[in-house]
Amino acid sequence: MVASILKTGVVYPKGGMANYSKKLADFFTSNGGTIIYGKKVMKILVEEQKVDGVLLNDGNEIKCDWIISNADVKKTMLEYIDERHLDSEYLNFIRELKQSHSGVMLFLGVDMDLSNYPSHFLISEDIDCIDRIEKEIFEIKTLAVRIPANKDPSLKNDGKCSLVAFIFSPYDWNNMWKSGPGGKRNPEYRKLKDDLIDEMVDKIETIIPGLKEKIEVKLLATPLTFDRYVLVSEGAWFGPNSFSKLPESKTPIKNLFLVGASVEGSGVPSALSSGFKVGKNLLNLLEK
């Protein structure tokens, strides 16, 4: 990720990252692909050390000859695959992978003109954020803020715009964010999120006065949110940490491949690169 920034600079797709994902999906379906929404893979089915299909959360099985997993490697190999299909050396390698940091992200929709502010800025009292996270201390002393519409005016909506604020945090802070057994979202968890929203908004108001009264939409994502919806173990924003030896895209299960930060490192360019490489490899195998 850092190398890409130094080589080409930081760039954004017009319409935002969601639009970028939509364009990829549209291209896939226009070429005959099918996307099933609202379902979740629970298990990758294996027969004689070769993929046989997937089991969905509605109980249905989809048979297939090849699988490319964009969930992180820990979820793919430790949750979706029965461990009897993997040898102890590979299992230990996957288990011992250290995850990168996770964090908290606040999304605000505001009826306010923010065009006079920078598209990116940092509110900080100190530079010891990472050190505190390593000690499992979480304090909102440093806050990074983005105003996407100030980079891409097409994102403005009748004078209204969005604001994103984020900060690194431990994955299991405060007894797993005061959630219930298995990460169940209970009233205590929701109260904790509401309190964090208020604290983060107060911090942003030191730079953008009057923001609180202009908020129309507010959503907070915790590390548990990223674990649940992005399918990354421990809610890691960047996959395994930058000092990890990463697994290969080819797995011990025949016709099962990995893509994403788990095999190429963090950042969109790396994820795209892993997809291109696996796609090219798969095409070569199909031609044979």
Query: Quick one: which of 116, 97, 238 has its CA closest to 166?
Result: 238
Residue 51 resides in a domain: yes
Residues 129 and 203 reside in one and the same domain: yes
Closest CA to 73 of 91, 56, 60: 91
Q: What is the pLDDT of residues 1-48, one digit of tens each?
A: 667 778 877 777 888 888 888 999 999 999 999 999 999 999 999 999
Position 63 scores a pLDDT of 96
- Structure confidence at residue 133 as a pLDDT band (50, 70, 90): low
Sign of CA dihedral 275, 22, 37, 164: positive
Q: Does position 247 have pLDDT exceeding 70, yes or no?
A: yes
Is the domain of 79 the same as that of 114? no
C-alpha–C-alpha distance, residues 197 and 47, integer Å: 48
Looking at every residue in the chain, the average pLDDT score rounds to 91
Task: Tell which residue, 195, 237, 236, has the closest CA to residue 218.
Answer: 195
DSSP β-ladder status, 67-69 and 256-258: parallel
Domain match, 207 and 186 both: yes
In a domain, 168, yes or no: yes
Calpha distance 219→108 (Å, rounded): 7
Q: Find the CATH number of the domain harbouring 88.
A: 3.50.50.60
Residue 224 sits in which domain range?
Answer: 102-229
Predicted pLDDT at 130: 66
> What domain count does the chain have?
3
263 inside domain? yes
286 vs 26, 280, 283, CA distance in Å? 24, 10, 5
pTM of the predicted structure, to 2 decimals? 0.86
- Say if residue 128 is in the same domain as residue 225: yes
Tell whether 111 is covered by a domain: yes
Does 68 share its domain with 112?
A: no
pLDDT band at 185 (very low <50, low <70, confident <90, very high): very high
Instruction: Please indicate, yes or no, if residue 234 is contained in any of the structural domains.
Output: no
Same domain, 137 and 219: yes
CA pair distance 55, 41, nearest whole angstrom: 6
Q: Are 218 and 256 part of one and the same domain?
A: no
- The answer to whether 170 and 138 have CB atoms below 8 angstroms apart is yes
Q: What percent of the chain clears pLDDT 70, i.e. is strictly above it?
A: 95
- 180 and 203 assigned to the same domain: yes
Q: Which residues pair with 47 in a beta bridge?
A: 50
pLDDT, position 15? 87
For residue 267 the two structure tokens come to: 């950042």
Instruction: Decide if 128 is inside a domain.
Output: yes
Query: Could you read off the pLDDT of 68-87 as tens digits, one per residue?
Result: 999 999 999 999 999 999 99
Please report, for residues 13, 71, 93, the alpha-carbon distance to residue 88 in angstroms, rounded to integers and kept in the order given: 43, 21, 9
Shared-domain flag, residues 135 and 202: yes
Is 213 found in the same domain as 115? Answer: yes
State the burial class of residue 29 (Cβ atoms within 10 Å of its Cβ: 0-12, 13-18, 19+). exposed
Mark whether 106 and 225 lie in a shared domain.
yes
Structure tokens that stand for 242 in this block: 């930058």
Mean pLDDT of 250-272: 91
> Is the same domain home to 108 and 223?
yes
Asked whether residue 171 is domain-assigned, the answer is: yes
Phi, psi angles (nearest 5°) of residue 119: -70, -25
Alpha-carbon dihedral sign for residues 79, 85, 89, 90: negative
Rounded to the nearest 10°, the torsion over CA 14, 20, 23, 29 is 180
Residue 129, pLDDT > 70, answer no
Q: Is residue 25 part of a domain?
A: yes
Phi, psi of 225 (to 5 degrees): -65, -45
